[in-house]
Structure 1
Amino acid sequence: MSVTVEEVSDGDAWNDLLARSPGASPFHRFEFLEVCADHAGATLHPFVGYRGAEPIGLFPVFEMRKGPFTAAFSPPPDLKVHYLGPAPLNPGGLKRRKRDRRNRRFVEAVLDRVDREFDPRYVNVRTSPAYDDERPFLWAGYDATPRYTYVLDLTRDEEDLLTAFSKDLRRAVRREADGFEIAEAGTDGIERIVEAAAARHAEKGADYNVTPSFVADVARELPDGMLHAHVCREHGEFCGGEVSLEHDGTVYGWQSAGDVSRSVPVYDLMYWHAFRAAKARGCESYDLLGANNPDLCTYKAKFAPDLRTYQALNRGSWEMKAAARLYKRLR
């Protein structure tokens, strides 16, 4: 039976289906997608694949137009949305042959619809680590680049978790930090964290196009308990903070900033607090969202996380790929 593709504009219906996908992330939530579309200046196409009347997968795609050219993204660029792409529904009970066939037909059906309706000159998809079969994209002529992230297992007790850390990290989180405190953050705190992250990236000459209003809008639109934000203060003065997202037992460390000139190890204490808080809520893992920058990897590896792989997939003319690379360097 062939696969048909429809757009689902009912956010509740989309989120109900999302709950049936082991490959979903908080970035797949309908509220999150709508905020992304608004801030990216893109048109959201929340595609659902059906085999007969049975929904078999979700695949949100963002259509972006620049002059005479159209591009398709999943996720949209410049918003620090690490994963998106296909989210298969209920694949666990299928035998390998049926699972492969369903995944292939679903992805092909969505890509065919994108080509028919948008005729994009460039397409970019970034999957989640839970999506483990990108072959339909390769067979459709897409180029694949492996990407990496670190995921920390929170099912261990706190002492075992701490024992696995590097020696200097253990010493840092066990030492008394006089005058240092971490507290939950509201909208003002969230905006302050994003501003600090932007300043930190600017100091390094690195790209960071996330705005305080974007993260504040995400915080406002997501259901309670999905976004967590904390600010760090030393003797009452702001010195950092983090914003994380939670979905299906995993916390995603989304945005963070810390003042490394302080007398206390802000990042060490901030992450340790985030891990403990996630563990206290019953979460089983913490995704550090990224293991692709050598300098950041050196730091994140101190937590003794597991390495996971996901894929960056793209298709387009040589000119459009070159333009995309140039855009990434100059944006």
Structure 2
Amino acid sequence: MRVEPIEIDEWESVLPDAGFEVFHAPAALEVLGEHVDGDLRLFAGYKGDQPVGLMPVVVAERLFSTLVFSPPPGMSVSRLGPVLMPQSPKRRKQEKVNRRFTEAVLEEIESDSPLELFRMICNTTYADPRPFRWQDFDLGTQFTYQLDLAGRDPESVRKDFSKSLRRDVRDAEDLDVTVERGDRNDARAIYEQTRARYEEQGRNYPLSWAYVSDLVASLLETGRARIYVARDASGQFLTGITVLYSNDAAYFWQGGTRTVHDGVGLNSLLHWRIIEDIIDDPPRESVTTYDLMGANTERLCQYKSKFGAELVPYYVVESGGRTMALAKKTYQALVR
């Protein structure tokens, strides 16, 4: 097994057709690299000339130590971590590749200075994080809701909604409100509305408009973003959602701020229009899943569970006994 750093062009050439998330896409990684506080490094594992795994990390060098994140905190990237290429159907060979790739990546990362803090939130297709545990890292499990829309029609999907969610969509459809796809100006309106909501709650919104603008522009250009907006009868912006796309899934990324118009909430109608488009007019035919992004906050789960989506686990890998208390405090400061 040979692991080496690669450039974005090579990353694009070896990225598989499926099994990765939107922030693994070159168009997203390039923007991350420009805005993140650290050094974006892309690693590829090869068995001979055949690529077997990919791993993007952000490395923050500190005095005599190294902090490594995948994804970087404070950038609204929910999951990243390794991507393993389709391999032999035999379990033994799959596990061997995974184990050797993990060992080689960690060795490459630690080659410059001691690894003080490592934190990785894996994508949902990375199903075997045990090699990290065998390297003395801690493992945790988190969850998201994913709605499988493959081979389904809108009516059957809507029937699986909870009764209250169907009512919310129906009530919003009766309003003099339109939902349409917008542009970067609408993405700015969604950003400002989201930031204002954070401020109302006494929280700091971590994303700059420069970062969001660059990311949305890059992903719009490559067919990996859509902006959905709700407007009143006069065309005035009411609310919206920015959706990002991998080859497999659509991701609820930004927006969805609770908005009531004429006594009726609009978020459910926005989600419904997104779902309809995934079924009838996706940005690429391989997109068949809507990821509602996160099932780890009880208050939000009470709403997201109404869509009839599947609860899907993903893994968090974090340095354990090898981590100094100062490094933990550094990470907590970064994510606030």
CA deviation profile, 1:200-224 (whole Å, cap 9, x unmatched): 2232345531222212211222343
Residue 258 of structure 1 aligns to a residue in which SS? coil
CA deviation profile, 1:101-124 (whole Å, cap 9, x unmatched): 100000110011111124331111
The whole-number CA distance in structure 2 between the counterparts of 1:258 and 1:32 is 24
Q: Which residue of 2 aligns with 1:140?
A: 135
Residue 313 of structure 1: how far off its partner (Å):
0.9
Q: Which residue of 1 aligns with 2:201?
A: 204
Q: Which residue of 2 aligns with 1:304?
A: 308
Residue 266 of structure 1: how far off its partner (Å):
1.2
Matched, 1:32 2:28: yes
Matched, 1:119 2:117: no
The whole-number CA distance in structure 1 between the counterparts of 2:205 and 2:12 is 29
Q: Which residue of 2 aligns with 1:195?
A: 192
RMSD (CA atoms): 1.9
The whole-number CA distance in structure 2 between the counterparts of 1:37 and 1:121 is 22
Residue 274 of structure 1: how far off its partner (Å):
0.8
Q: Which residue of 1 aligns with 2:295?
A: 291
CA deviation profile, 1:250-307 (whole Å, cap 9, x unmatched): 1111112334343232111110011111111243110111111111111100101100
Q: Which runs of 5+ in 2 are unaligned?
A: none
TM (normalized to structure 2)? 0.91
Q: Which residue of 2 aligns with 1:271?
A: 271
Aligned residue runs from structure 1 range 87-236, under 5 A: 87-91=83-87, 93-155=88-150, 156-175=152-171, 176-206=173-203, 208-222=205-219, 223-235=221-233, 236=235
The whole-number CA distance in structure 2 between the counterparts of 1:152 and 1:24 is 17
Matched, 1:86 2:82: yes
Higher relative contact order (CA 8 A, sep 6+): 2
Task: Kindly indicate whether the alpha-carbon contact (under 8 Å) linking 2:229 and 2:237 is maintained by their aligned counterparts in 1.
Answer: yes
1:180–1:107 CA distance, 2 compared to 1 (3 A): same
Task: Kindly indicate whether the alpha-carbon contact (under 8 Å) linking 1:190 and 1:212 is maintained by their aligned counterparts in 2.
Answer: no
Residue 310 of structure 1 aligns to a residue in which SS? strand
Give the number of aligned pairs: 325
Residue 124 of structure 1 aligns to a residue in which SS? strand
1:206–1:303 CA distance, 2 compared to 1 (3 A): farther
The whole-number CA distance in structure 1 between the counterparts of 2:236 and 2:97 is 54
CA deviation profile, 1:114-160 (whole Å, cap 9, x unmatched): 11124331111110111000001101111111110000011321111
The whole-number CA distance in structure 1 between the counterparts of 2:143 and 2:334 is 19
Q: Tell me the amino acid that sits aligned with residue 100 of structure 1.
A: E
Q: Which residue of 2 aligns with 1:255?
A: 254
1:326–1:73 CA distance, 2 compared to 1 (3 A): closer
1:198–1:69 CA distance, 2 compared to 1 (3 A): farther
Identity of matched residues, %: 32
Moved over 4 A (4+): 66-69
The whole-number CA distance in structure 2 between the counterparts of 1:221 and 1:258 is 24
Q: Tell me the amino acid that sits aligned with residue 213 of structure 1.
A: A
Q: Tell me the amino acid that sits aligned with residue 179 of structure 2.
A: I
CA deviation profile, 1:216-249 (whole Å, cap 9, x unmatched): 2112223432111122222333221111111223
The whole-number CA distance in structure 2 between the counterparts of 1:277 and 1:46 is 33
Q: Which runs of 5+ in 1 are unaligned?
A: none
TM (normalized to structure 1)? 0.92
The whole-number CA distance in structure 2 between the counterparts of 1:250 and 1:322 is 33
